[in-house]
Amino acid sequence: MHLMAVVGARPNFMKMAPVLREAKGCAEMEVTFLHTGQHYDEEMSDIFIEDLDLPEPDVFLGAGSGSHAQQTAQIMVAFENFLAGRKADLVIVGGDVNSTLACAIVAAKMEIPVAHVEAGLRSFDRTMPEEINRVVTDALSELLFTTCEDANASLEREGIPKEKIFFVGNTMIDTLMAYLNKAMEMGVHDRMGIEEGSYGLLTLHRPSNVDTAEAFGKVLDALEWIQNRMKILFPMHPRTRERIREFGLSGRLSGMPNMRLLPPLGYLEFLALMAKAKLVLTDSGGIQEETTILGVPCATLRWNTERPVTVREGTNVIVGNDPARIISAVSEILEGKHKQGARPKLWDGKAASRIVQVIKEHWEARGRRRRTEEGAGGKVMP
């Protein structure tokens, strides 16, 4: 069978890398690795390919940036043009970025089955573009691979047949477990002059936190208090860096002596820093999962999460962007009162092998049905 694996933005690489490796090791599969170009520069894309030992993509669509509508449309047009010349048997997408949605829509309209890695996650907040992407992609998918039982329940409530849903575990954790030792051997802490366990690690990029001066200012109010008590490492997303410039916040940040601003980091560098952080402050989704596995306290700077298992079973607490709540949560962590957390079910580093096994079985079953139908019609079987 011909499997087309799609990536577009940096979270996709961690989710799809183990699936690509498993699929490429399967004699029954021809694999095409397609990069839409949603994140296309060295900071946001190339370094992840290198860190995760991925081959160069077979196809690069070069979609680039733009508004949600522009970017989604550019990817759809480019992907449709490519598929018209080389039809796949299955298109597999991951996560909830615009590339995920765009390629799922195109494949479904061209009657190519879609598989969705990390299906069923729900924040129940339709103001988040990612939530729209998740819901639509799941509705179009033939195979839905979930990371937790909450996701199974969400899909069933939305009317997805149970036979399409496969609880396989978390491919991001496959990647973390495969690369943690390598990350720690890089000597990032020595190179940066940072003592392990002495710092907080911050990521901040969501529109709800950085797209207005008021919201960004509220987060900075809390960070000002925190950095008086510990060093904060802040690798900056390009859009966050642009908002800092736009809102004139550079002076405020430079006035925080323990706030260390960093460029975007590669996967391995960031993983090493996260593994030995005293705490993590983030508005990312995947980091909530990774800190749970690493046993690192995580305060999520959002009012909801599509990953409730990290709160119920892991190290994650939801604090929004209210300075008082952020400071209260960080105070508890600094006093050693944080949750210890546990490893969620099937987060064992074997999700990708389960995914590829399901795909093989699904393809073989389709072949048997096709042969039965052809036989019933009096056709000569191959």
- Within the chain, where are the H helices? 10-24, 47-51, 68-85, 98-109, 129-140, 149-157, 171-184, 188-192, 207-210, 213-227, 238-247, 250-254, 267-275, 286-294, 309-312, 323-334, 351-376
Q: Which of 39, 68, 189, 205 is catalytic?
A: 205
Digitized pLDDT (tens) for each residue of the chain, 382 residues in all: 999 999 998 889 999 999 999 999 999 999 999 999 987 665 657 888 899 999 999 999 988 788 899 999 999 999 999 999 888 999 999 999 999 999 999 999 999 999 999 999 999 999 999 999 999 999 999 999 999 999 999 999 999 999 999 999 999 999 999 999 999 999 999 999 999 999 999 999 999 999 999 999 999 999 999 999 999 999 999 889 999 999 999 999 999 999 999 999 999 999 999 999 999 999 999 999 999 999 999 999 999 999 999 999 999 999 999 999 999 999 999 999 988 899 999 999 999 999 999 999 999 998 888 778 777 665 533 3
Q: Report residue 309 as tokens.
A: 């298992």
Looking at residue 376, what is its pLDDT?
66
Contact status, residue 101 vs residue 137, Cβ threshold 8 Å = yes
Q: How far apart are CA 154 and CA 134, in angstroms?
A: 11
Q: Has domain 177-334 been given CATH number 3.40.50.300? A: no
Q: Active-site residue 39, yes or no? A: no
Give the closest residue to 117 by CA, choosing from 10, 268, 229, 5. 5
Grouping H, G, I as helix, E, B as strand and the rest as coil, residue 169 is coil
Quote the CATH superfamily of domain 2-168+350-376: Glycogen Phosphorylase B; (3.40.50.2000)
Residue 380 confidence (pLDDT): 38
Output the six-digit token pair for 166.
């496969």
H/E run at residue 2 = strand 2-7
Q: What is the pLDDT of residue 194?
A: 97
**Residues 348, 53, 43, 40, CA torsion sign:** negative
Q: Which amino acid is at 269?
A: E
Q: How far apart are CA 134 and CA 131, in angstroms?
A: 5
Any long-range contacts for 18-24 (C-beta under 8 Å, 24+ apart)?
A: 18/171, 18/174, 18/175, 18/178, 18/351, 18/352, 19/92, 19/94, 19/117, 19/171, 19/352, 19/355, 19/356, 20/54, 21/352, 22/352, 22/353, 22/355, 22/356, 23/356, 23/359
The single-letter code of the amino acid at 293 is I
Amino acid identity for residue 351 in this structure: A
- Asked whether the beta carbons of 112 and 92 are under 8 A apart, the reply is no
Listed in sequence order, the residues at least 6 apart from 204 whose beta carbon sits closer than 8 Å to its beta carbon are: 210, 219, 234, 236, 237, 240, 281, 282, 283, 301
The string of DSSP letters for 248-302 reads: T-HHHHHT-TTEEEE----HHHHHHHHHT-SEEEE--SHHHHHHHHHT--EEE-S
Assess contact for 286 and 14: CB atoms under 8 A: yes
Give the contacts of 156 (CB within 8 A, at least 6 positions apart): 162, 165
- Cα 106 to chain centroid distance, Å, stands at 21
Same fold flag, 2-168+350-376 and 177-334:
yes
- Spans of all domains in the chain: 2-168+350-376, 177-334
Contact 199, 232 (CB under 8 A): yes
Closest CA to 177 of 348, 313, 310: 348
Q: How many CB atoms lie within 10 A of CB 85?
A: 6
